[in-house]
Chain A
């Protein structure tokens, strides 16, 4: 559990460069699994075909590199359930001027 929180904190360093909000507060991270041979992240993006897909996934891999050590970092981008603004944290909503 402690490791999951560490991973989540690392993922807070990955920002959506258009929105300027980290992917955890945006509600893009659906699942974190810390397994003996890999770290598994199930996540989504704000819109299918998001032009920043590659950069954000690359950012996730980079942010988790030292926590993973020799283990694989498995990033699974899914479109179900579809992301919705209700998944954002209060901090993210405030930052975007959500009302």
Chain B
């Protein structure tokens, strides 16, 4: 078992704990202060790159062999990617704190090179294996959108440093966010769930037609959304992308129910159960948001609406899905490493022995419940609600990440 995923996943957990601790200390004040400033950049990039992307990259390295039944193109390149990305990100975050443009520029370049190395490794692995299906196509397009997210961020950085293309800044900002949130995270989470969910539910003979529909519609939503931002932000095109995204999320949820219907294991584990609840909640919210946006297209890109959407999508879905799946990924990673060679020997624990399901259930319930308070706070312009909900969420998250960390002591 390779140690490569381990480095990314542990670093991601540290990034998550740092984000929660920093937000707890400031009572999530950075949300109220507006995210388009150094404090906002620091917190958002720590969350998105230091936690979610770091862990997602580890999950890709862990699962790509499972999906393709072949080895990663280059493990050594993976370690170089880890070093370059982690050093670059650390520099980028400290650059945001210190407000030094040159430092930010150099570190952002390193971070982007790290992303390119990751894309190279994944692309070479996929091309060599040449097994194209909805899972590999989702992963491939997700990584492509990660590269485009980084590219848009780099061009924005150049604009900051040089003053070039000032009129393009907001267009790039919209595309940067859309490619990253919808394209990279969305397609990676949905694509990998097509492999993982049936394994945990022991589902067989379920229909897969909706996977293809979701893949195409999700990609269309990503390209139309990012394209419309780059072209100047036509409300109608952005609305079309949002409607397509809502359709894709609803179809995805119908497919999840098909997998669940054809299961042969009653419980897939508490983490996976919560991932189902999270997905269903997202479907309801995104469908409602699309209806609201159709009625109020001129208010769709208001700061409040964007902040609320960002919180629900990133904290409420992306991060929550990663936390849910981590309840399976981390015990598996550790069991394979520590006990894999002892399989078949008396006294060897099974995966369920490594993580207390009851505590997973309570922690995820607290995290899910407390996600609603900051959302209500943003909706009602109440920083107190944001702070209170954020604090409960941070405490629950820190407890949960500590619980996951304890797996490594089993």
Docked complex Cα distance between A50 and B198 (Å): 11
Q: Which of B67, B68, B198, B336 contacts A52 (CB 8 A)?
A: B336
Docked complex Cα distance between A63 and B200 (Å): 26
Tell me if B207 counts as interface (CB < 8 A to partner A): no
Inter-chain contact A63/B336, CB cutoff 8 Å: no
Docked complex Cα distance between A59 and B239 (Å): 54
**Most B Cβ at <10 Å: residue of A55, A58, A97:** A55
Interface stretch (choices B34-42, B74-82, B341-349, B377-385)? B341-349
CB-defined contacts of B341 to chain A, threshold 8 Å: 55, 58
Tell me if A13 counts as interface (CB < 8 A to partner B): yes
Interface of A, secondary structure class, is: loop
A residues 72-99 touching B (CB-CB < 8 Å): 84-85, 88, 93, 96-99
Inter-chain contact A55/B336, CB cutoff 8 Å: yes
CB-defined contacts of B66 to chain A, threshold 8 Å: 49-51
Inter-chain contact A17/B69, CB cutoff 8 Å: no
Interface stretch (choices B16-24, B184-192, B229-237, B259-267)? B259-267
CB-defined contacts of A98 to chain B, threshold 8 Å: 264-266
Interface residues of A, count at CB 8 A: 31
- A17-B343, A46-B202, A85-B264 known; 13 new pairs, CB 8 Å cut-off, are A13-B345, A13-B346, A15-B343, A17-B339, A19-B265, A49-B65, A51-B63, A55-B335, A58-B340, A58-B341, A59-B344, A97-B265, A98-B265
29 pairs, A vs B, C-beta closer than 8 Å: A13-B345, A14-B343, A15-B344, A17-B343, A17-B351, A18-B199, A18-B351, A19-B202, A19-B265, A20-B352, A46-B199, A46-B202, A47-B199, A49-B67, A49-B195, A52-B336, A55-B336, A58-B343, A58-B344, A61-B344, A62-B342, A62-B343, A88-B264, A93-B264, A96-B264, A97-B265, A97-B266, A97-B267, A98-B266
